Amino acid sequence: MKISQSSGVPIYQQIADNFRTEILEGRYEEGMYLPSIRGLAKDLKISVITTIKAYEQLESEGLVTAVQGKGYYVNAQDGEMLKEQHKRKVEGALLEAIKYAKIAGMSEEELIETLTTLQKFAEE
C-alpha cells in the first residue's frame, strides 16, 4: 500500500480508500481479516490512531466488522450493491472529466473520442 504525505488527502482516508477498492474488487473476500492495526501502522510508519480511524470509517460504511481481540474482518458484499458502487464511481469520474473538458473547450465528439481511445488503451 502506498501512502502519500503530500497528496492533500488525509492518510487515514488514503488507507480507507485503498482497502475499500480492494474489498470492492474482491481482493479481500468475505471473512478475511484486514492487517492488524499495529502491524499496518508499523509497516506504513504511521500512528496507530490513524489506522484505527481508517478502519472505523470502513466499519461505518458496512464493509468490515470489528471483532474484539481479533481485528477487523470483511463483511459479505452484495453483488448488485458492488455493481452500483462501481457505477457511482464511474459517474463521478465522468462528471469530473466533463467539467475539465468544458474548461479545455472540448466538444462532445472530442470527449467521446477521447473516452473511446482510452477505453481501447485500458483493454490492452
Quick check: 61 and 47 in contact, CB under 8 A?
Answer: no
For residue 69, the model assigns a pLDDT of: 92
Q: Which element (helix H / strand E) includes 119?
A: helix 108-123
Give the residue-averaged pLDDT of 10-36: 92
Residue 47 in grid coordinates? 500512528
For residue 114, the model assigns a pLDDT of: 94
- Beta bridge partner(s), residue 71: 67
- Beta bridge partner(s), residue 67: 71
Tell me the helix, strand and coil percentages in the chain, rounded to 5.
Answer: 60, 5, 30
Structure-model confidence comparison of residues 24 and 114, the more confident one = 114
Supply the pTM of this predicted model: 0.66
